[in-house]
Structure 1
Amino acid sequence: MNSTVGQQLLVRDTFTTAFMKNFIVVLVWFLLSYINGSVVATFFRHQIFYEDPRYILFIHMVINDAVQLTVTIALFVVSYVLYTISVGVCCFFILVAVFTTRSTPVNLAGMAIERYIAICYPLRHAEICTVRRAYMLIGVIWFISVVPDITDLFVTLATEPLSFFQTAVFCLRPNVFKDPVLLYKRQAFDGIYFSLVFLTLLCTYLRIVFAARALSTERTSAKRATNTILLHGVQLLMCLLSYVSPSVEGILHIIFPGRILEIRFANYLIVYILPRFLSPIIYGVRDKKFRKYLKRYFVCSHPKIDTRVECKDEEE
C-alpha cells in the first residue's frame, strides 16, 4: 500500500458509520468465537479426536484462525476508536497477525498430505501419521511461519531509533516496517510459500483422484478426500487475497476516489473474515464423525433438555 492510501485511511467516518462498522465486525467476531469455541470444546471433550493426527491439525488451524481473527478485529476497532497507537504495541499486533496468517496455508498443506497418505497408503497411514509427528509438524509450521517475518522486527530495531517505538502511528505494516528491502523480501517469501502450498494441494489432489480410479473399494473415501482438498484450495485462494489486498485497495482508491474507508471495510470482510468461516465447516460440519459429536455437544448442553443419560450412553 502506498503512502497516499495510508494517509487517506486516517480520514474519519461519521460517528454513526463508524459505530455500525464496528458493531458488524464485533458481532461477526462473537458469532465465529461461538462456533470455534464449540468446535474446540468438542475436540477436547472426546479423546477419540486428540489421538487422531487429522483432527489435531484441524483444531490447530481453528485455534490459529481464532487468534488471527481476534487480533485483526482488535486492530480494526482500534483504527476507528483511537486511530493511532504506539509503534511498540502496533508491532506486537502486526507480527501476531502476520504469523497466524502465514501459518494457515502451511497447515493446509500438512492436512492435504495427511489425506493423501490415508487414501494412497492406507496400510502405512497409522505408522506414518502419528500424534507425535502431528505435533512435530505443528512446530515446523510455526518455525516456517515466524522466522521470515521476525526479521522485519530485527531490521527495524537496527535501522530506527528507540524513540521511534514510542511514537504514535496508524497501525499498518508499511508504517512500522518501513525499509523498502522488507517489502521485496515479503513478496519473495509470499510467492515461495504459496507456490509450494499450491503445488502440494494440486499434487495430492491428482494422486487421490488417480487412486480412486484404481481402487474401486476406496472411491467413497477418496471422493471425500478430494472434496476436502478442493475446499482447502478455496481456502488457499482466500489466503492469497490478504497479500494482494493492499495493491487492490490502492487501485480501487484511484477508481473510486474518496471511498477509501468503504473499500477498506469491504476488503476486511472479504479477505479476513469470510475465510475464517471455512475452517469449522470443512471438518466441523462436513466430517461425519466430528459432526456427530458436535451435535451431541449442543444437545447435551441444552439446559431445557434432560439428555444427560442418553448422551452418556451414546458416549460409551
Structure 2
Amino acid sequence: MNLTVNNLNSTFSLKAINEKPLIVNVVVGILLYVNGLMIFTFLKKETFRDARYILFAQTLFADTAFMVLTDLTLMGMFYQYPVHIIPCCMICTIMYFLTVCTPMTLVAMCLERYVAICLPLRHVSLSTPKNTFIGLLIIWGVSFILPLFILIVSFAYLSPGARFSYVVCSVEIMLQVTWLADMRAATQQLFFIIMLCIIVSTYIKIMIAARSASSENKKSSNKGLKTVLLHGIQLLLCMAHLIMPYIEMPLWNVDVMIFINVRYSNFILFLILPRGLSPFIYGLRDKKFNNALRYYVFCGICLVSNQRKIIDGKTVRGV
C-alpha cells in the first residue's frame, strides 16, 4: 500500500512538473501575440513617430526578444538539451542586455512624460526624433557595458578545453567566478535603485504640476501621473527577480516540489509578467494607439466611423 501511494505521488509530481513548461509557453505565446499586434500597429502608422511612441516600441521589441530567448533557455534547461558554450554565452549576454535595457527605457518614458507635463514649452524641441534616437543609443550603450564585461571576463577564466564543450545553457554558466557574480548582483541592484529614485522624483514633480494645473490640463496631468506610477510598479516587479535566489534556494532543502512551484511562479511573476505589462500600461491606455490597434485587429470591421480619423492621423489626447 505504501509503495502504491509513493508511486502515485511520484506520478502526480512528474505530471505537475511536465505541465509547468506548457503553462509558461501559453503565457509567453499570449504576450507575444499582443506584442506582435502592437509592433505591427506601430510600424504601419507614420503618426506614431513621436518620442513617446518610439520609446514604447523600443520596450515592445526588447520585451519580445527577451521573452523568446528566456522561453527557449527554459525549454533547453527543462529537457536538458546541450548547446555549445560559446552560443550559450552569447544568448545569456543578450538576455542580460535586455534585462537592463527595458527598465532604462521605462525611465526614459517617465522623463518624457515629465517634460511633456512640467515643461510643455520645451517638449517640442526636446522630444524630436533625432534626440529620441540619441537617447536610444545611450540606453543601448549603457545597458551593454556590464554584459560585455561579464562576457569578456567569463571567456578569460574559461580553460581552453572548456571553450569547445557543450552545456545546458543558463546564466550560471557565465558566473562561475564568485567575485564576478557578486559584482553583477551589486551593480544590477545599484542600477535599479538609481532608476527607481528617478521614477519616484518624476512622479512627485508631475503630481505637484497636476495639482497646480488648470482644469484643461489637469486631466492630461493625471493620466501622465498614473502612467509614471504604473511604470514604477513595473520597475519594482523587474527588481524583484534580484531577490528570487535568496527565496528559492532555502526551499531546495525543504521540499523539491515546493522549490519547483516557487521557482516557476517567480519566473512568471517577476521575469515574464513585467515584460508583458507595457502594452497594457502604455498602448491600450492611449486612445490614439488604441483606435489604430482595434482597426487592425478587426480589419476595419465595426470601426468605419473611426477609419477616417485613424488614416488622417487626427490628434487624440493620450496618456
TM range (shorter): 0.7 to 0.9
Match of 1:290 in 2: 289
Whichever residue aligns with residue 59 of structure 1, its letter is: A
Please name the residue that 1:270 is paired with.
269
Deviates more, 1:167-176 or 1:242-251: 167-176
> Is the aligned partner of 1:86 residue 2:84?
yes
Task: State which of 108, 111, 119 in structure 1 corresponds to 2:109.
Answer: 111
Q: Deviations over 1:238-291 (max 9, x none)?
A: 110222212221133244345433332222111222112211001111111111
Structure 2 residue runs without a partner (length 5+): 1-11, 313-319
For residue 311 of structure 1, the aligned residue among 303, 307, 313 is 307
- Cα deviation, 1:6-26, whole Å, max 9, x if unaligned, reads xxxxxxx97644542222222
Matches within 5 A, 1:123-142: 123-142=121-140
- CA separation of 1:92/1:18 partners in 2, compared to 1, >3 Å: closer, same or farther? farther
Match of residue 38 from structure 1: 37
Distance, in Å, in 2 between the alignment partners of 1:49 and 1:101 is: 25
SS at match of 2:169: coil
List per-residue Cα deviations over 1:72-109 (Å, max 9, x = no partner): 00011111123443322221221111110111111111
Deviations 1:98-131 (A, max 9, x none): 1101111111111110000000111110001111
Q: Which residue of 2 aligns with 1:252?
A: 251
CA offsets 1:195-217 (integer angstroms, 9 cap, x no match) = 21111101110101111122223
* Identity score, percent: 31
Residue of structure 2 in register with 1:66 after alignment = 64
Paired residue total: 300
Tell me the secondary structure at the aligned position of residue 82 of structure 1. coil
Cα gap change, 1:204/1:310 in structure 2, threshold over 3 Å: closer, same or farther?
Answer: closer
Q: Output the CA distance in 2 between the equivalents of 1:20 and 1:32.
A: 19
Q: Mind listing any 5+ residue stretches in structure 1 that lack a counterpart? A: 1-12
1:206 pairs with one of 180, 201, 204: 204
- Structure 1 residue identity aligned to 2:274: P
Letter in 1 for 2:90: F
Partner of 1:231 in structure 2? 230
TM-score, structure 2 as length reference: 0.87
Query: What is the CA distance between 1:134 and its match in structure 2?
Result: 0.8
| 1:8-54 Cα shifts (integer Å, max 9, x gaps) | xxxxx97644542222222222211110010011111111102x000
Distance 2:228 2:285 in 1: 13
- Distance (whole Å) between structure 2 residues aligned to residue 80 and residue 86 of structure 1: 17
SS of corresponding position for 1:169: strand
Instruction: State the shift of 1:168 in Å.
Output: 3.0
Moved more, 121-130 or 266-275: 266-275
* Alignment check: 8 A CA contact 1:283 1:290 kept: no
1:198/1:233 contact within 8 Å kept: yes
Cα distance change, pair 257–309 in 1 and its aligned pair in 2 (3 A): closer
SS in structure 2 at match of 1:76: helix
Judge which range, 176-185 or 222-231, deviates more.
176-185
SS at match of 1:162: coil
How many Å apart are 1:298 and its aligned residue? 1.2
CA drift of 1:309 comes to 10
Conserved? CA contact 2:154–2:175, under 8 Å = yes
Q: 1:82 to 1:312 in 2, by over 3 A?
A: farther
What is the deviation of 1:165?
2.6
Distance 1:216 1:255, change over 3 A: farther
Give the Cα separation in 2 of the matches to 1:229 and 1:306.
33
2:96 to 81, 91, 98: 98
Greater mean alpha carbon deviation, residues 35-44 or residues 177-186: 177-186
Moved more, 115-124 or 240-249: 240-249
RMSD, aligned α-carbons: 2.2
* Preserved CA contact (<8 Å) 2:67 2:272: yes
* Residues 189, 242 of structure 2: 8 Å contact kept: no
Cα deviation 1:172-198 (Å, max 9, x = unaligned) = 323333111212211221122112111
